[in-house]
Structure 1
Amino acid sequence: MTQAIKTIHIYTGHTFMGNSDRFEGNLFENTIVIFSKERKEYKPGKKIIQLNGSKKDIEKVIGICQKAELVVLYDLDQVKIKIALSLPNHIKIAWRFFGHELYDRQRLKYLSKTTQRTLGVKLILEKFWEKKNITQFTKALNRINFFLGLSEAEYHLLVNNWRRLPKFIQLSFPSLDLNPSSINFKLKINEPSPLILIGNSMAMYNNHIDIIKLIEQQPNRQQFNFTLLFNYGLEKYYTKKIRKLTRGKNYFHLIEDFMSLDEFNSLYERTSALVVNSHRQMAMGNIFTAFKKGVKVYLNEKNLMLHWLKKEGFRVFSIKNFQNDLQNNNASLTQNLAINNFQQLKKLSGKYSDEKFQENLYAECTLNKK
Structure 2
Amino acid sequence: MILHIATVNKFMVPFISLINNEFPDQDHEFWLSGARKLKSTPIERRKNIHFDKDTLGDRALSLIKLFLLMNRAEKIILHGLNRRVLNVLLVNPHLLKKCYWVIRGGDLYQYQSPKPKVSQKIKELKRSFIIKRLGHIVTYIPGDVELARKWYGATGKYHECLIYISNVVDFDIVPESPKIQNPDSKIKILLGNSADPSNNHIEALERLLPYKEHDIKIYCPLSYGDQSYAQKVIDSGHNHFGDKFVPLTSFLAFDKYVEFLKSIDIAIFNHHRQQAMGNTITLLAMGKRVFLRSDVTQWKMLENLGFTLGDSADITLRPFDNSKIYENSRIARENFSRRTLVRQLTKIFEE
Asked if TM exceeds 0.5, the reply is yes
Worse overlay, 161-170 or 274-283: 161-170
Distance apart, 1:211 and its partner CA: 0.6
8 Å Cα contact 2:160/2:344 also seen in 1? no
Q: 2:179 aligns with which of 158, 176, 185?
A: 185
Instruction: Encode CA deviations 1:117-175: one digit per residue, 9 max, x unaligned.
Output: xxxxxxx7869897352221122214432111122233124422221353221113636
Distance verdict in 2 for CA 1:62–1:54, change over 3 Å:
farther
- Whole-Å separation in 2 of the counterparts to 1:315 and 1:95: 30
Q: Which residue number in structure 1 is paired with residue 77 of structure 2?
A: 72
2:238 paired with 1:243: no
**Of the candidates 245, 253, 256, which is equivalent to residue 246 of structure 2?**
253
Aligned to 1:114: none
> Given residue 251 of structure 1, which amino acid in structure 2 is its aligned partner?
K
1:318 is displaced (CA, Å) by 0.8
Alpha-carbon contact 2:265-2:288 (below 8 Å) kept = yes
Residue correspondence of structure 1 range 266-277 to structure 2 within 5 A: 266-277=259-270
Assess if the C-alpha contact under 8 Å between 2:111 and 2:151 holds in 1. Answer: no
Which amino acid is the alignment partner of residue 272 of structure 1?
D
Residue identity opposite 1:241 in structure 2: K
Which stretch of structure 1 is more off in the superposition, 40-49 or 76-85?
40-49
Partner of 2:54: 53
Q: 1:233 aligns with which of 207, 225, 235?
A: 225
Q: 1:349 matched to which residue of 2?
A: 336
Change (3 A) 1:135 1:321: closer
**In structure 2, distance between residues paired with 1:334 and 1:130:** 48
Report the residue type matching 2:131 in the other structure: L
Alignment of 1:13-32 (within 5 A): 13-17=8-12, 18-20=14-16, 23=19, 24-25=22-23, 29-32=27-30
2:100 aligned residue: 94
Residue pairs, 1:90-169, within 5 angstroms: 92-107=98-113, 131-169=121-159
Q: Which residue of 1 aligns with 2:350?
A: 362
Distance 2:71 2:306 in 1: 43
For 1:243, give the aligned amino acid.
I
Q: CA deviation at 1:291?
A: 1.4
Alpha-carbon spacing, 1:65–1:239, altered in 2? closer, same or farther (3 Å): same
Paired residue total: 333
Preserved CA contact (<8 Å) 1:265 1:289: no
Residue 199 (structure 1) aligned to one of 181, 186, 192:
192
Equivalent position of 2:33 in the other structure? 35
Task: Please report how far the alpha carbon of residue 102 of structure 1 lies from its aligned counterpart in structure 2 after TM superposition.
Answer: 2.6
Shift of 1:196: 0.9
**TM-score, scaled to structure 2:** 0.81
**Which ranges in structure 1 are unaligned for 5 or more consecutive residues?**
1-5, 108-123, 364-370
Aligned 8 A contact 2:201 2:270 in 1: yes
1:155 partner SS: helix
> Helix, strand or coil: the match of 1:279?
coil
Q: Is the 8 A contact 2:269 2:293 kept in 1?
A: yes
Q: Report the equivalent of 1:294.
A: 287
- Kindly state the Cα deviation for residue 241 of structure 1 after the two structures are TM-superposed: 2.4
Change (3 A) 1:182 1:25: same
The CA distance in 2 between the partners of 1:142 and 1:262, in whole Å, is 41
Supply the distance in 2 between the matched residues of 1:77 and 1:44 (Cα, whole angstroms): 23
SS of structure 2 residue aligned to 1:14: coil
Give 1:358 shift.
2.3
CA contact (8 A) 1:202 1:239 kept: yes
Q: Secondary structure at the match of 1:133?
A: helix
User: C-alpha root-mean-square deviation of aligned residues, in Å?
Assistant: 3.3
The amino acid of 1:246's aligned partner reads G
Shift of 1:52: 5.0
What CA distance in whole angstroms lies between the structure 2 residues aligned with 1:185 and 1:349?
19
Contact 1:294 1:339 survives alignment (8 Å): yes
Aligned partner letter, 2:30: I
- Distance, in Å, in 1 between the alignment partners of 2:274 and 2:133 is 24
Offset at residue 210 of structure 1 (A): 0.8
Structure 2 residue 325 is the aligned partner of structure 1 residue 338:
yes
Q: What CA distance in whole angstroms lies between the structure 1 residues aligned with 2:223 and 2:340?
A: 30
**Counterpart Cα distance in 2 of 1:232 and 1:352:** 31
Say if 1:152 and 1:207 are closer, same or farther in 2 by CA, change over 3 A: same
Tell me the equivalent position of 2:2.
7
1-side partners of 2:245 and 2:147: how far apart? 35
Higher alpha-carbon deviation: 259-268 or 164-173: 164-173
**3-state secondary structure, aligned to 1:250:** helix
